[in-house]
Homo-oligomer: A and B are copies of this chain.
């Protein structure tokens, strides 16, 4: 299954495939390649290195692998030091500006590999192999790259869409349950953006199958569940891709919709310390806050807000305010004002409306409303 988008000047081709061994690539045969992975995905990277090729169906690309760069796993590793490690590995492997960076991993690895490629000799080639649900439904698609700086998530970054993104479904079989759930939060987010409610209901129906102690091996073995998972990932990729096509660099109003739950979520992540919550846990909590903000402004109907929050609850996300891990609001508010969604003195939030979502701007003087929301106070 493949889909193709045009993000600005780059055509991005995405393969959602069942196996790493059935994937095709558009890598030039004379290009030097560097594999970038973390401790968790080193095995997948090694299997690519072993065969020395990436293929799908009839088309097969032989890779001229020149090196592998293995980084520590986790959000705490998403820093300049590790970007420099990638750049150094590429230099030592002898990559020229026609060299290919192949990022193999979740959002942290694909964001960092893509950033490194975007600044390596002012821009090298890039392939992403997304190995987590979060990466597949969100991080790997759309060209945002970056790393954390000054305790702010993705504070430094570029727009650098990958011409080729590979999503091998079988890599999900070893994903820990918490990471799996983290991905579902972004899937729910995308479904809320969709103008028709079916996608949200569909995710609700899948919950029992996918978020259970029996996951993931059983689910991926079962042909029906597997096909439904593939379809949900594909639908999420499709929705996100079309939004990004309309506004690739978030200069208009379309792409900002994808930030639903993220203004609150990023600030929560920073307030409790980057890496202590998964991105999905923070986003799920942020979506709940966005629902309440929308309700307080008369934009989100109570019924819709309750439906969304109930779905989040059923996945076991923390949706209560204040968040139990957040000791005081000071750091949260600091992080909020450092957020990239800020334009001048306005804070931008996405809130659900009857169908889909809408962007709203909150002025600094209205900030009490936000404090009430994060503290769970009735207004």
Binding site for B on A (CB under 8 A): 8-9, 30-32, 80, 84, 87-88, 91, 94, 96-98, 118-123, 144-146, 149-150, 152, 154-159, 249-250, 337-338, 340, 342-344
Instruction: Collect the chain B residues with CB atoms within 8 Å of residue A344's CB.
Output: 30-32, 96, 98
Asked if A249 and B123 make an inter-chain contact with CB atoms under 8 angstroms apart, the answer reads: yes
Asked if A156 and B91 make an inter-chain contact with CB atoms under 8 angstroms apart, the answer reads: no
Asked if A340 and B121 make an inter-chain contact with CB atoms under 8 angstroms apart, the answer reads: yes
Chain A to chain B: the 6 pairs with minimum beta-carbon distance, closest first:
A121-B340, A122-B157, A96-B342, A119-B156, A96-B343, A98-B343
Interchain nearest-CB distance for A234 vs B (Å): 27
The residue that A159 contacts in the complex, of B80, B123, B145, B250, with Cβ under 8 A, is B123
Interchain nearest-CB distance for A109 vs B (Å): 18
Interchain nearest-CB distance for A262 vs B (Å): 13
Asked if B155 and A91 make an inter-chain contact with CB atoms under 8 angstroms apart, the answer reads: yes
Instruction: Collect the chain B residues with CB atoms within 8 Å of residue A156's CB.
Output: 87, 119-120
- Rounded to whole angstroms, the CA-CA distance of A224 and B41 in the bound complex is 67
Instruction: Collect the chain B residues with CB atoms within 8 Å of residue A154's CB.
Output: 122
Instruction: Knowing A9-B9, A87-B149, A144-B122 are in contact, say whether A158-B155 is a contact too (CB < 8 A).
Output: no
The residue that A88 contacts in the complex, of B88, B97, B150, with Cβ under 8 A, is B150
- Rounded to whole angstroms, the CA-CA distance of A296 and B119 in the bound complex is 35
- Rounded to whole angstroms, the CA-CA distance of A97 and B259 in the bound complex is 15
Shortest Cβ distance from A30 into B: residue: B344
Asked if B8 and A97 make an inter-chain contact with CB atoms under 8 angstroms apart, the answer reads: no
The residue that A84 contacts in the complex, of B149, B337, B340, with Cβ under 8 A, is B149
Which residue, of A31, A118, A145, A146, has the highest number of chain B Cβ atoms within 10 A?
A118
Asked if A122 and B84 make an inter-chain contact with CB atoms under 8 angstroms apart, the answer reads: no
Interchain nearest-CB distance for A339 vs B (Å): 9
